[in-house]
Structure 1
Amino acid sequence: MGKRQTGVARWLVMLLQIVWGTVWGISGAVAQEGNAGPERSQPKPEVLFAVGEWPPMITENVPGFGIHTERVTEAFVAMGYRVRYIFLPWRRAYELTARGEYAATFSWIWTPERSAEIIYPDHPVARAYQKGFYKKSRFPDGLEIDRIADLDPLGLRPVGVASYWYEVEFRRHGIEADIVTSSEAAWRFLDAGRADIFFEEEQVGWQDMKRILGEEAVANYTTTQPVQSDDMFILFSRNHPMGPALRDAFDRFLDTPNGQSMCRRWGVCKKSGENQSVPN
């Protein structure tokens, strides 16, 4: 009885040694795999973009954060970055980027004033068609406008949003305007009859109108001809440590076959030095 127990015990010990050796070997391989992982795959650098609400192009309320935001994400992920979007009032988004608290902001058209404060890339991410929205009942014969300068002889008073492209144009042409802090305020100002016209990117304008004033408002409004057609850009900070390098990396990427494929889908495969829009 005792000898048989000893034999069984020895057999169990040998079996345990075999099993333990196998488990130890597997565990060692997993540990080596885990240790090797971080060395092979370093965390991707993160880029913080300061942006504002501009649906459907940029908005916190949909997956992907809007049409323009999806393009920026697509490009920078392909370049090897992680992206994060900080939603702020537009003026603050621009000012904090210019100051260097954020690496970049989008989407902005080219102006001489901005180009002195911030870095423009060669490649745009979109093209905007700016039109004037007005009430049919206020101007039943329509408005023949295809440039900002046309407002003055017609005696029209516009409403606009602070920091938008037309502020400079209003000043340049001596046009008095009511400037408010948001597109929602501008639409309500216009709808109340306190202004004659509001300029906005066409697709954005119709969507904002429906969202703010309701679907039924669409029948009450119409638009002018485009007063301006502009490339829209990511603006990179001169004062952020990553700003200049990110601009260069973005332009290099958009010059690659992969980048060119993207910008063809976006419909904006051209450089800022070519066909640069000149404000009217």
Structure 2
Amino acid sequence: MFEKATIVKRDVFYSEETMIQLLSLILLACSLFASAQPKRVVTVATGEYPPYTGKQLANDGFVNHIIRLALESQGYQVHFEYLPWKRSFQSTNLGQFDMASYWVCEPEYADSFYCSDEIYKGNLLAYFRKTTPLPKWENIYDLKKFRIGATLGYEYVPEFHKAVEQGELDVLMVTDDKHSLNMLFNDRVDLVLLSDVAMQALLIKAFTPEHATLIHASDKPFLAYTAHVLFPKSREGSLVLKNDFNKGLSQLKRSREWDRQWQRLLNAEFHPDAAIN
């Protein structure tokens, strides 16, 4: 009833040009598929420390912009949540955020956090009025007779916190750097602790050029530090996220994009009135 079908086998050959076109179409399809996939949104707990971090700063400040660039290069979207510093640290430790920007990697954090590679190196300096210069000092206990203005939630050397708790240093804690510097100008404290870049940004934003001529920094850094991002061990996927961030950060440094952003920092281009770049 039915005739048996005869299958004729033919060898099909494609030219090199056709093969290249087919391969290009396959790669394009893969690229479109990948780009269509939703990117994971990473939530970052952070605080206000101009010009490094800040809601009103261009690009959220130098550090947060570096974080954004590093993660976006690895396919993530980034959202920053601005909180008081102490709360941002504690909330991240509880796993409420993917990461915390930005902190010194203290040894005692190792049980709770993975620490990123170094974002930048910095110095915390002791600023004083030129009319009442500091004597030469070797350790924080040489500053016992001075009243120090410090900011709640900031990291200082462990010896500093220990000395404060034991009442060996006279420290007045306030909520922000502007308040602290105002106290220095009004003779309520003898010195304040701030990085050189942060001090310059604060003077530009909140004070007059005349104010800048009234203070000076100690030649000896109060604290030499490296800045990092913390990833909570309480949150699943933190180790993968840390590795992805480090990869993106390394790419920024190799490509010299990190250097370009650092120069923007030195040029005060993260100031709120600066153009976003």
TM-score normalized with structure 1 length: 0.72
List alignment gaps of at least 5 residues for structure 2: 1-30, 263-277
Shift of 1:167: 6.6
Query: In structure 2, do the counterparts of structure 1 residues 112 and 207 end up closer, same or farther at CA, with 3 Å as the change threshold?
Result: same
Shift of 1:192: 2.0
Q: CA deviation digits over 1:229-277, x for unaligned, max 9?
A: 211001111222342321122234445x566435863899xxxxxxxxx
Query: 1:33-48 counterparts in 2 under 5 A?
Result: 41-48=36-43
Query: In structure 2, do the counterparts of structure 1 residues 254 and 60 end up closer, same or farther at CA, with 3 Å as the change threshold?
Result: closer
Identity over aligned residues, as a percent? Answer: 20
- How many equivalent pairs are there? 229
Read off the aligned partner of 2:202 and give its amino acid letter: D
Partner of 1:165: 155
Read off the aligned partner of 2:182 and give its amino acid letter: R
Aligned equivalents of 2:111, 2:162: Cα separation in 1: 18
Query: In structure 2, do the counterparts of structure 1 residues 243 and 261 end up closer, same or farther at CA, with 3 Å as the change threshold?
Result: same
Shift of 1:218: 0.1
1:150 to 2:150 alignment: no
3-state secondary structure, aligned to 1:171: helix
Query: In structure 2, do the counterparts of structure 1 residues 111 and 178 end up closer, same or farther at CA, with 3 Å as the change threshold?
Result: same
Read off the aligned partner of 1:102 and give its amino acid letter: F
Aligned equivalents of 1:130, 1:207: Cα separation in 2: 14
Query: 1:157-196 counterparts in 2 under 5 A?
Result: 157-166=147-156, 168-173=158-163, 174-196=168-190
1:89 to 2:84 alignment: yes
Query: In structure 2, do the counterparts of structure 1 residues 115 and 216 end up closer, same or farther at CA, with 3 Å as the change threshold?
Result: farther
Q: CA deviation digits over 1:179-237, x for unaligned, max 9?
A: 12222221222222121111111110122133233332101000012222211001111
Shift of 1:54: 0.9
Aligned equivalents of 1:57, 1:115: Cα separation in 2: 24
Partner of 1:205: 199
Partner of 1:28: none
Aligned equivalents of 1:267, 1:149: Cα separation in 2: 37
2:118 to 110, 121, 124: 124
3-state secondary structure, aligned to 1:177: strand
2:43–2:79 contact (8 Å) kept in structure 1: yes
Partner of 2:66: 71
1:145–1:227 contact (8 Å) kept in structure 2: no
TM-score normalized with structure 2 length: 0.73
What is the root-mean-square deviation in Å for CA atoms of aligned residues?
2.8
